Amino acid sequence: MSKRLNVSASPHVRSKTSTKTIMRDVVIALLPACIAGIYVFKLQAALILLTCVATCLLSEYIYEKLMKKQITTADYSAVITGLLLGMNLPPSIPIWIAMLGSVFAIIVVKQLFGGLGQNFMNPALGARCFLMISFTGRMTTFTLDGVSSATPLAIIKNADRSVPVLDTLTNNGTSLFKMFVGYTGGTIGETSAACILLGALYLFVRRIISWEIPCCYIAVFSVFVLAFGGYGFDINYLAAELCGGGLMLGAFFMATDYVTSPITKKGKIIFGICLGLLTGVFRIFGGSAEGVSYAIIFCNLLVPLIEKVTIPKPFGYVKEAKKS
């Protein structure tokens, strides 16, 4: 890396914000959902989260040591990857699969593309999709109180549309309130919408994220499911779709990843719209009841194109007239 100093015209803006402080705030924001997952799914959830974080840190350290690169384990980025991956795993997943996914996230998705700032997709989501393809049965087996059960989203997707959503949920032992607080079958960190929103509020207060991506994402998705979900304009159905699965976690914590999301304001809005549309298509018309992970990864691939068409013109720029 060049050691030359880049000198630009004044004024120069100083800030105490750094990669480490941003990542630390994201870790703090994730803690409420992690704690909720441990409370609901007990010791196994804590073990999976700790395993993912420890494996991510160790993988990053070993790779950078072997490649003689600067050690970056102290910047919290590997911790976030471990937390997000663990939160995206079912509590019944074997520990060795959690470790395999963590190594894949750090080595394959992050480090082989140059490390932090160079990866083209969210490492935790890339690892989750890798595990979904490789171990579909284990990744789609969810338990609550030691009993295997379908997630609320799966229940709603396969339900009779003539039966009200609230009745469908009640008949299957759950409710909108349980979905909101997180006492339902699902992955460790996705189930408690309340705790995810609490963490998101912290990120907004700290100005770590802006409104464009999550708000556009949720708004477009809401319109889509009301239009094509088959329940008509049913607010209860919409609430179930918003609280169920990984929508909230994806919208506030993974779609807003600095590295894999647009930096322009218009780009963020377009990115959020694309996420809402794709998630709606995957959930309503796809074979699975979920679709957040695949929607975000697909849109990550569109980011270079989105940024290319939304780059603002420099101040004072005048387009040259075409020669006759």
Task: Kindly report, residue by residue over 94-143, the tens digit of the pLDDT.
Answer: 999 999 999 999 999 999 988 888 888 899 999 999 999 999 989 988 88
Angle 26-76-261 from CA coordinates, rounded to 5°: 55
Contact between residue 246 and residue 88 where contact means Cβ atoms under 8 Å apart: yes
Average pLDDT of 172-182? 90
What CA–CA distance (Å, rounded) separates 249 from 87?
9
105: closest CA among 53, 68, 141? 53
pTM of the model: 0.88
Residue type, 113: F
Contact between residue 112 and residue 85 where contact means Cβ atoms under 8 Å apart: no
Domain ranges of the chain: 19-137+153-307
Residue type, 70: Q
- Choose the most confident range, by mean pLDDT, from 2-6, 210-214, 304-308, 320-324: 210-214
**CA-CA distances (angstroms) from residue 112 to 64, 109, 153, 224, 301?**
11, 7, 35, 37, 17
What CA–CA distance (Å, rounded) separates 137 from 233?
34
What CA–CA distance (Å, rounded) separates 226 from 231?
7
Q: And the tokens for 306?
A: 């989105």
Average pLDDT of 234-240? 93
Question: Each residue of 115-141: b (16+ CB within 10 Å) or e?
Answer: bbeebebbbbbbbbbbbbeebeeebee
Residue for token pair 């009993």 = 147
Residue 91 DSSP code = T
Q: How far apart are the first and last CA of the chain?
A: 46
What is the H or E stretch that residue 314 is in?
none
Q: Length of the chain, please?
A: 324
Residue 148, SS3? Answer: strand
- Beta-carbon contacts of residue 221 (< 8 Å; ≥ 6 apart): 241, 242, 247, 275, 276, 277, 279, 280
Residue 291, SS3? Answer: coil
Decide yes or no: CATH 1.10.3470 for domain 19-137+153-307. no
pLDDT of residue 5: 52
pLDDT band at residue 1 under the 50/70/90 scheme: very low
Q: And the tokens for 277?
A: 């549309």
What CA–CA distance (Å, rounded) separates 218 from 220?
6
What CA–CA distance (Å, rounded) separates 188 from 133?
19
Give the range among 109-118, 200-209, 265-274 with minimum mean pLDDT. 109-118
Residue 4 DSSP code = P
Task: Kindly report, residue by residue over 45-82, the tens digit of the pLDDT.
Answer: 999 999 999 999 999 999 999 999 999 899 899 999 99
Contact between residue 188 and residue 41 where contact means Cβ atoms under 8 Å apart: yes
292: closest CA among 245, 229, 226? 245
